[in-house]
Structure 1
Amino acid sequence: MSEYDDVCVLLPTMNEAETVARVVADFRDAGFERLLVIDGGSTDETRSIAREAGARVVEQSGRGKGQAVREAVRDHVDASYVLMADADATYDAGDAAAMLGPLLDGDADHVVGNRFADMRPGAMTRLNRIGNRLINLAFRAIHRENYRDILSGYRAFTRESFERLHLTADGFGIETEMAVECVKNRLSVSVVPVTYRERPGGSATNLHPIRDGGVIFLELYRKAKTNNPLFYFGSAGVASTAAGILLAAFVLYRYLAFGISHEVIAVGAVGATILGIQLLVFGVLADMIHSLHVEQIERYERAVDDRAPRRPSEVGEPDAAEGRGPDARGGESARREGPGDARD
């Protein structure tokens, strides 16, 4: 019996023939027997190579990494824990034990591997590094949590916690969406330092920095609607108000300096200013409602915890061996401890 018998290593792939065998072999050498490769329709030999290396291979029904992850966990994973990594050999299977530690110890529901802790030379271009930093700063500002590397593809999570996440992203936005949903559902998240290596020669990345970066920023902003409504509506309100003020200043300058009136622009300036103020007010009200909603959820969870039966040791009662345990009072043996709320 291995300590990782209840862990499934999930590897989404798309044309990873150059590296998938090495990745599967590395995780098998690290003690993992349950490896699932979910393939997005590779046109090379990825699937056959993965099977020969010892992995279970499934071809996803749709397209995109996000859809692959959702389908894999929902339909093909029956383990209690999932360790997700990319199949491009950039992550180190030797970090798997550290990634799973917080889950197996019951200290976290979700673990993020921080690539910036040990990023090897050439692992990430300067453009990608800057983009990653900006996205992480935006996430911290919008969602008020610091997961250090929300775009990391090295994740570990319990299947139960994954089922609580409302995930809709189909592409590379899945990592961002998972981070946002962890905040929204108040899951306990741990950040673990991992090694991030350069892609081996001959393998090509499926990531398009500009296109996928734009999608990720839009996903962050879209999710702010429910997690931080003040930022979501307030930022639009500030932009609209600022545009209105600038237009008004232009109209006023042209009228005072040259006697030229711009009635249409003036009307637009007033409209933009009014819209911006309304959005700001709406953002404040939405933020108040959101705060009350969170407070009510916390009260409900505390009430559930208080109503949950406690163990004899928690209330100072002798156990069943002394004749006063649950079994001695009528055969009750079910005891449930309330969920913790620890955060990294």
Structure 2
Amino acid sequence: MAGPSDVCVLLPTMDEAATIEDVVAAYREEGFENVLVVDGGSTDGTQRLAAEAGARVIEQSGEGKGQAVREAVRDHIDAEFVLLADADATYDAADAPAMLEPLRDGRADHVIGDRFADIRPGAMTRLNRIGNRLINRAFARIHGQDYRDILSGYRAFTRESFEALSLAAEGFGIETEMAVECVKRDLTVEVVPITYRPRPEGSDTNLHPIRDGGIIFLELYRKAKTNNPLFYFGSVGTIATIGGILVAIYVLYDWIAHGIGHEILAIVSAAGILLGIQLLMFGFLADMILTLHRERLGDGD
């Protein structure tokens, strides 16, 4: 069985001076000596405090959490397992063994910590709770898997499985992208209940709920192109068709009731309906091709 020496605790940071020492110390107390802090250019002393607490510290070459994670795994981690956490003290180092157990037992390639299993008062605003629920439901609907908390920053994965993922997100979209890629690559994912705590006083979040939530929804939709083409093309096709029909109803009503013709609107209506039907047909065809492709891969195994 792998021990703590086969695990690298990865902590992306950006101005986390208020919490970084305690977070690094907590993982070291759990027996994890290999703690890697990848810093995005903090100006509050985060790097110095992390190093003093016993972490290995590097400064990332680019910007954003996603880029930090990719660079760390690609260039600075040799351990078999990676435990990814935030440096804001919201996650409990004591949950690390449970997060790593499915990897060590060979049950999973990727583990997601479910914050909603034990979320403490004040850890998440009502707006964030609603946004998280909507995003998780959208993910389950679009990609066909319910991982319960795809935005969780507490992850554990094998380095080998991570290298199989095609990741490009720069910021907080990295969690969503990893979840989508796990579905696409047919990786085994296990969800583990964890504790989620409020940020300590004096620790400010780098997350912007409206902006980052919008980015995550767009990422979910964009990734549906290859995972669920029927939804990707069908949703736009349905909107275009319904819009065209509504315009057609208005044109027809105005012509019958008042004798007023709307030639341009009639053309727009016809174009919308035709475009919508074509997109729906393309979505069905693409979905059939994807299904056949997956069946052939399954037969090949």
The interval holding the TM-score normalised by the smaller chain is over 0.9
Q: Deviations over 1:124-175 (max 9, x none)?
A: 0000000000000000000000100000000000000000000000010000
Amino acid at match of 1:259: G
> Do the aligned residues in 2 keep the contact of 1:2 with 1:31 (CA within 8 Å)?
no
> Do the aligned residues in 1 keep the contact of 2:241 with 2:277 (CA within 8 Å)?
yes
Deviation at 1:259, TM superposition (A): 1.5
What secondary structure sits across from 1:190 in the alignment?
Answer: strand
Report what 1:89 is aligned to.
Answer: 89
1:121 matches 2:125 = no
> Do the aligned residues in 2 keep the contact of 1:244 with 1:270 (CA within 8 Å)?
yes
Q: Which fold has the larger relative contact order, with Cα–Cα distance below 8 Å and residues 6 or more apart in sequence?
A: 2
What secondary structure sits across from 1:145 in the alignment?
Answer: coil
Report what 1:103 is aligned to.
Answer: 103
Deviation at 1:262, TM superposition (A): 1.0
Amino acid at match of 2:91: Y
Report what 1:20 is aligned to.
Answer: 20
Residue identity (%): 70
1:137 matches 2:140 = no
What secondary structure sits across from 2:4 in the alignment?
Answer: coil
What secondary structure sits across from 2:179 in the alignment?
Answer: helix
Amino acid at match of 2:114: N
Report what 2:248 is aligned to.
Answer: 248
Report the aligned-residue RMSD.
1.0
1:172 matches 2:166 = no
Amino acid at match of 2:297: I
What secondary structure sits across from 2:192 in the alignment?
Answer: strand
Normalising by structure 1, we get a TM-score of: 0.87
Unaligned runs of 5+ in 1: 302-344
What secondary structure sits across from 1:71 in the alignment?
Answer: helix
Report what 1:330 is aligned to.
Answer: none
Q: Aligned partners of 2:254, 2:55: CA distance in 1, in Å?
A: 71
Q: Aligned partners of 1:211, 1:2: CA distance in 2, in Å?
A: 40
Normalising by structure 2, we get a TM-score of: 0.99
- Counterparts of 1:281-296 in structure 2 under 5 Å? 281-296=281-296
1:31 matches 2:31 = yes
Q: Aligned partners of 2:248, 2:112: CA distance in 1, in Å?
A: 48
Q: Aligned partners of 1:211, 1:264: CA distance in 2, in Å?
A: 37
> Do the aligned residues in 1 keep the contact of 2:2 with 2:104 (CA within 8 Å)?
no
Report what 1:227 is aligned to.
Answer: 227
Deviation at 1:2, TM superposition (A): 8.2
Q: Deviations over 1:90-119 (max 9, x none)?
A: 000000000000000111000000000000
Q: Aligned partners of 1:61, 1:294: CA distance in 2, in Å?
A: 38
Q: Aligned partners of 1:190, 1:225: CA distance in 2, in Å?
A: 25
- Counterparts of 1:31-70 in structure 2 under 5 Å? 31-70=31-70
Q: Aligned partners of 1:172, 1:254: CA distance in 2, in Å?
A: 49
Deviation at 1:71, TM superposition (A): 0.3
Amino acid at match of 2:208: H
What secondary structure sits across from 1:113 in the alignment?
Answer: strand
Which 4+ residue blocks in structure 1 deviate beyond 3 angstroms?
A: none
Instruction: Look at both structures and tell me which one has the larger radius of gyration over its CA atoms.
Output: 1
Q: Deviations over 1:180-219 (max 9, x none)?
A: 0000000000000000000000010000000000000000
